[in-house]
Amino acid sequence: MLTVDCKEVLSIKNELLVFVSDSVSAIPTLKHHQFMLSKFDDDEILDIDTVISAIKEFLDSIGETKNFAVISHKEIISITSISGKIIERDAPTSQLEMFSCTHCGFVTKYEVELTTHMRIHYM
């Protein structure tokens, strides 16, 4: 499982998540300032270089390759601003806070609903 830290690119986190997870055929899990990627089969290992290439390809597609560096350390990939630039986009209010089940991928905008849903997995 790999973690992609998006603290400096929060406004494009959801677009990045979709692009990267599709590119590397991985299951995404949303977190507040980051997302995690895992393979469909637990025995498969996610190639960190492939994920970094997908992130760089996305940044290139929006013209931000020169402003951001993609750095990996163990199982964490960080997207860091080189020049201090921040990508600002207006995000719809419905996408600002999303919570995802780590077991099955269920997504909701209510943390209480996710907590209730997660209890089902432990019955």
Q: Is the pTM of this model over 0.75?
A: no
| pLDDT at residue 93, rounded to an integer | 46
Q: What is the pLDDT of residues 90-109, one digit of tens each?
A: 655 444 577 888 888 788 88
Residue 108 has a pLDDT of 83
With a cut of 50, which residues of the chain have pLDDT below it? Answer: 93-95
Phi/psi of residue 105, nearest 5 degrees: 90, 5
How far apart are the C-alpha atoms of 7 and 106, rounded to whole Å? 23
pLDDT of residue 90: 62
Question: Cα(20)–Cα(10) distance, rounded to whole angstroms?
Answer: 15
Q: What is the pLDDT of residue 96?
A: 56
